[in-house]
Amino acid sequence: MPSPPRPLLQGVPAQARGRRRNIDTSEATFSTDISSRSASLAIAIQNALTLEQKLEQDAAECTTEVALQRMLSLRSVISTTSSFAERQQAAVDRPVEFRGIGKGSIGVISEHPGTTHCYKLATLDNSDKLWNNYRIHTKVQEAFEKANSLIKVDVEIPKMFWFANAKTSIFWNENLDDFPFTDTFPKKTRDTLCMERMRWRFYIV
């Protein structure tokens, strides 16, 4: 008379059963870890959506003057009286000093640490050279962007962001003390060009 079938693990050696228990335990731990990560991800997504909604509301209520100040400012600007905006301002506002990185025939260049921005300050007073530099470079930039929409052009040039003159108080009131002026390049407001710092690429062949 044939013997009844045995339970699945009964005939399995104790060592193998131990491995199976370890696998079950690992799977349970992995499942718990996945659940924990999913919950954390959901919280992060919710926080991001909340922040996005507040920023959209803030932008909708932003005046033209504040919008201009934000474009010319190197720091954040509080445009509401909410505690949320104040906390955001306190978190990101940090004193920063610009570092000189070069000098050309028409301007002295400083970088803004932690960003891709650099600033070319005019060395000459009452000169259109820096303004012409901005206009010409902007046209070259637009030409490459147009060409790239028609055919792939593997050329990168630093972007031009904005131009400020010596009377642009919104910019200078906030940033005059941050530039590395010297005896030969005295501290005063000047024509200024804000542009993207050049990025160097190295290829191994």
**Per-residue pLDDT reduced to its tens digit, 75-130:** 544 444 455 455 445 445 555 789 999 998 899 999 998 888 999 999 988 889 99
If DSSP states are collapsed to H, E and C, what string results for the chain? CCCCCCCCCCCCCHHHHHHHHHHHHHHHHHHHHHHHHHHHHHHHHHHHHHHHHHHHHHHHCCCHHHHHHHHHCCCCCCCCCCHHHHHHHHHHCCCCCCEEEEECCCEEEEECCCCCEEEEEECCCCCCHHHHHHHHHHHHHHHHHHHHHHCCCCCCCCCEEEEECCCCHHHHHHHHHHCCCCCCCCCCCCCEEEEECCCCCCCCC
Locate 49 and state its tokens. 């959506």
Name the more confident of 75 and 62. 62
Check whether 203 has a pLDDT greater than 80: no
Match domain 99-196 to its CATH number in 1.10.10, 3.90.70, 3.90.25, 3.30.200.
3.30.200
Give the whole-angstrom CA distance, residue 25 versus residue 30. 9
Phi, psi of 11 (to 5 degrees): -90, 5
pLDDT digits (tens, 9 = 90+) for 19-33: 444 544 444 444 455
The per-residue pLDDT for 30 is 44
In percent, the amount of the chain with pLDDT more than 90 equals 28
pLDDT at 185: 93
Can you give the pLDDT at residue 121? Answer: 96
Domain spans of the chain? 27-92, 99-196
Q: What is the mean pLDDT of the chain?
A: 71
Confidence label for 147 from pLDDT (cuts 50, 70 and 90): confident
The residue-averaged pLDDT of 150-156 equals 76
pLDDT tens per residue across span 34-57:
455 555 556 666 666 666 666 666
Q: To the nearest whole percent, how much of the chain has pLDDT over 70?
A: 50
Q: How confident is the model at residue 142 (pLDDT cuts 50, 70, 90)?
A: confident
The structure's pTM equals: 0.52
